[in-house]
Amino acid sequence: MTEAAKRFSKRGWGVFNHYLYAEICSPKTTKNLDMNITDWNEAVNKFDVERLAYKLHKMGVGYYFITLMQGTKHMLAPNATYDRIAGTKPGEACATRDLPMELADALAKYDIDLCLYYTGDGPHKDEVIGNRFGFIGSGRYEDGLTVDKPFVENWAGVLEEYAVRYGDKVKAWWIDGCYKDNFGYTDELLDIYYNAIKKGNPNGLVAFNDGVKPYFQKGYYNEDFVCGEFNDFLHVPANNQWEGALVHTLAPLGYDKESCSEWGGWGSNGLKHTKEYMRDFIRASRKVECPVTVDIWVNIDGSFDPEQEAALMWVGENL
């Protein structure tokens, strides 16, 4: 385990937010807060980084994850490489505000690390732009989305621009959708992403997600920490190392009451577990220095679900 991973293991626990165009920029969703905002740039400009950092500080977390993108063409920050490949103008797909940079600075005031989420399937929901990046096929899961080296090199170029810009302001990268069986990812292809991130921060931690597994597993031979994606908070490891990588857990606190699906909790509001259960789970994981990341609801302005916020405030005060 690297020194950076050992440091992260002592961060304790953190919060994860899915801040995404489809969930934020629709007046039909409650995350829009009745603002009737449908423009991505206008939405990102509403995000209050100082309030979010203060709330996380009150919870006592050690780090914070937010999505740079997921599926659509919309990116959380400017990126000239993206615009060049996609043929988009600044602000058309990539937000003009550099929200991650502002978050890093706001969080640093409270000694909270910024971590970022990225995906290995790119803007697959946008057929035109997805194909410009080099998808094989239509770029849709149901039509057999696959990847090859030209696509990975294009998409890694976008990642590298972000990684170099943020440098050591970003402590960890959680890369989703790097499926070996479904998409054809190999360690050689993942090397390209890994090297892009390390170019920006040699000490930056990297994990590649190959889907929900029954227990902790590495998705890449050289990753610094395991993704540890689960649909619930169930597994406390015996120790914090797995084949040389730091063990880490990510699961949703919310629960989708309409779908009642085990997958419905991501980015949802409400409480899947009591505050006492979450305290005990995080406490047990902290004893073996396994970081626990809690996915919760986030609104267009960066505010949280009040019920989740209150529960996590209590957790932080009673660990």
The CB-side HSE value for 213 (13 A sphere, CA atoms) comes to: 14
Q: What is the CATH number of the domain that holds 135?
A: 3.20.20.80
At 41-77, the pLDDT tens digits run: 999 999 999 999 999 999 999 999 999 999 999 999 9
Lowest mean pLDDT among 20-24, 182-186, 188-192: 182-186
What value does the mean pLDDT take over residues 86-105?
A: 97
At 18-49, the pLDDT tens digits run: 999 999 999 999 999 999 999 999 999 999 99
Domain that holds residue 194: 3-318
In the chain, what is the straight-line distance between the N-terminal and C-terminal CA atoms, in Å? 26
Q: What is the pTM of this model?
A: 0.96
The domain total for the chain is 1
What value does the mean pLDDT take over residues 285-291?
A: 97
At 102-161, the pLDDT tens digits run: 999 999 999 999 999 999 999 988 889 988 998 765 445 555 667 899 999 999 999 999
For residues 169 and 134, the answer to whether their CB atoms sit within 8 Å is no
Query: What is the DSSP-derived secondary structure letter of residue 48?
Result: -
pLDDT value of residue 272: 93
> In percent, how much of the chain has pLDDT > 90?
85
Phi-psi category of residue 217: left, alpha or beta, with phi > 0 → left and psi -120 to 50 → alpha = beta
DSSP string computed for 265-316? TTT--S-SS-HHHHHHHHHHHHHTT--EEEEE-B-TTSPBPHHHHHHHHHHH
Looking at the DSSP bridge assignments, the partners of residue 174 are 117, 207
Q: Strands 241-242 and 205-208: what pairing? A: unpaired
> In which band, very low, low, confident or very high, does the pLDDT at 258 lie, cut at 50, 70 and 90?
low
Helix segments in 110-220, DSSP class H:
127-132, 149-166, 180-183, 187-200
Does the pLDDT of residue 261 top 80, yes or no? Answer: no
